[in-house]
Amino acid sequence: MHADIRSLMLPHLVEAEAYAAIDPPEVLAREAGIPEDQVIKLDGNENLYGPSPKVKEALAAYKSYHIYPDPQQRKVRQALAGYIGSSPDRIAAGVGSDELIDLLLRLFVGPGDAVIQCVPTFAMYATFTQLVGGRLVSVPRTETFDVDVQAVRQAAKSGAKVIFLTSPNNPTGNLVSEEVVRQLLELGAVVIVDEAYSEFAGQSVSSLAPQYSNLVVLRTFSKWAGLAGLRIGYGVMDPAIAERLLVIKPPYNITVASEVALLASLEDKALLLSRVANIVQERDWLFAQLQRMPNLTPIPSSANFILCRLSQTKAQRVYKELARKGIFVRYYDNPLLRDYIRASVGLRRHNQALVTALHNILSEGAI
């Protein structure tokens, strides 16, 4: 027996902060005191169309759940190479793109090594950097939330190992241009371009991978393909990086269920991409509605969510009022985003409910 078991833990992990993850619908329903089927969940940038119907059929028909998945991910990497226009040796798949962020940091970053992120951005880069004992360097974005290239250059001078770029960025929704990606690749650090929302933007830098051995492009099936719950992401990169990721990953990381779902999704790509087009149309409709709201400014987005600035530090109260009505958006308890909420784009009925609720909250002085 040990008096203080924490004293045996690694100090940097005892101090590590948890990623502020989102709660599942049943917890949200309990909080709001409503039935689960009345929850409008716009807090996780999930795809409210759900998966392709072919996924459900394929999962039901699959016969070999008792056999381990292929540790070399052969079928998956072949299919992904066809989808993204690359070759299988440049591809590695993970349990969501989250796992690839983790594995890449483990591959490249040791204690004290610098990792650059451009804030505000996806919080998982910080979470996983602290797990490897890396030194996180947060470079603020410009007023328009663009990457401050000069400031990143300056920060990289003392020898950064990894630079995260996110395109479209979460939570701001804006893209990083190919020109900026190229400029930062020239610095020599590993540049991870996280394209989780790429299908909604119709833009990708994955075709640059053969030109730059230090470029890794991350993609996921969580957003465009509606498979967030099955956890499957992938990266396109130099074959030497992909080969190492396949060695250091847990051997059976992606499950056969996610493998089956991925292959069925790619077979139904046309349907899924038509849903993406609908979500993009909905995003533009929602943006126009939000622009008319008093005390609220939506930020233009190339993804499936919209960040909204609320004047007079009302963001947290608006978030709470929406939650009371069963509409869950994302609020960040962080100085850079204190005046903002982020709403995912759902189907028209969800978006309409959000617009009506926001309108009532903001115009009728409910707060």
121's tokens: 């951005």
Contact status: 233 vs ligand PLP (CB under 6 A):
yes
Residue 96: CB minimum distance to ligand PLP, A: 3
**Subset of 272-301 contacting ligand PLP (CB under 6 A):** none
Taking CB under 6 A as the rule, does residue 129 contact ligand PLP?
A: no
To ligand PLP, the closest distance from the beta carbon of 272 in angstroms equals 15
Residue 243 CA to chain centroid, in angstroms?
Answer: 24
Q: Does 127 bind ligand PLP (CB under 6 A)?
A: no
Would you say 354 and 321 are in contact if contact means Cβ atoms under 8 Å apart?
Answer: no
Q: Which of the stretches 18-26, 53-61, 91-99, 292-300 binds ligand PLP when contact is defined by CB under 6 A? A: 91-99
Residue number, 86 or 222, with CB nearest to ligand PLP: 222
Cα angle for residues 347, 350, 195 (degrees, 5° grid): 55
Query: Which residue number, 263 or 293, has a Cβ lying nearer to ligand PLP?
Result: 263
Q: Which residue bears the tokens 């990381």?
A: 253
> Measured between alpha carbons, how far is 15 from 21 in angstroms, rounded to an integer?
18
- Interface pattern 94-113 for ligand PLP (x via CB under 6 A): --xxx---------------
For residue 170, state whether it binds ligand PLP (rule: CB under 6 A): yes
**How many residues sit in the footprint of ligand PLP (CB under 6 A)?**
13
- Closest by CA position to 238, among listed 104, 342, 44: 104
For the bound state, the minimum distance from the C-beta of residue 290 to ligand PLP, rounded and expressed in Å, comes to 20
Instruction: Considering the complex, state which of residue 176 and residue 361 has its C-beta at the smaller distance from ligand PLP.
Output: 176
The answer to whether 51 and 265 are in contact (CB under 8 A) is yes
How far CA 258 is from CA of 210, 262, 311, 367, in Å, comes to 28, 6, 43, 44
**Smallest gap from residue 112 Cβ to ligand PLP (A):** 25
- Tell me the residue type at 362: L
Fill in the DSSP letter of residue 17: P
CB 191 within 8 A of CB 182: no
Q: Which is nearer to ligand PLP, 88 or 233 (CB)?
A: 233
52 is a site residue for ligand PLP (CB under 6 A): no
**Least distance from C-beta 304 to ligand PLP, angstroms?**
10
We find the least distance from the C-beta atom of residue 365 to ligand PLP, in angstroms, to be 34
For residues 360 and 367, give the distance between their C-alpha atoms in angstroms, rounded to a whole number: 10
CA distance 333 to 329: 13
Determine which residue in the list 51, 118, 122, 344 makes contact with ligand PLP, applying CB under 6 A: 122
In the complex, which residue's CB is closest to ligand PLP? 96
Work out the burial of residue 287: count CB atoms within 10 Å of its CB; fewer than 13 is exposed, 13-18 middle, 19 or more buried: middle
Q: Helix or strand or coil: residue 343?
A: strand
Structure letter (DSSP) for residue 251: T
Nearer of residues 220 and 253 to ligand PLP, judged by Cβ: 220
Q: Which residues contact 97 (CB under 8 A, 6 or more apart)?
A: 194, 196, 218, 219, 220, 222, 233, 234, 235
Of 127 and 220, CB closest to ligand PLP: 220
Smallest distance from ligand PLP to CB 347, Å: 19
By the rule CB under 6 A, 222 interacts with ligand PLP: yes
What value, to the nearest 5°, has the Cα angle with vertex 285 and ends 283 and 287?
65
Does 166 help bind ligand PLP (rule: CB under 6 A)? Answer: yes
Interface with ligand PLP, residue 214, by CB under 6 A = no
Give yes or no for residue 173 binding ligand PLP (CB under 6 A): no
Chain positions contacting ligand PLP, by CB under 6 A? 45, 96-98, 122, 166, 170, 194, 196, 220, 222, 228, 233
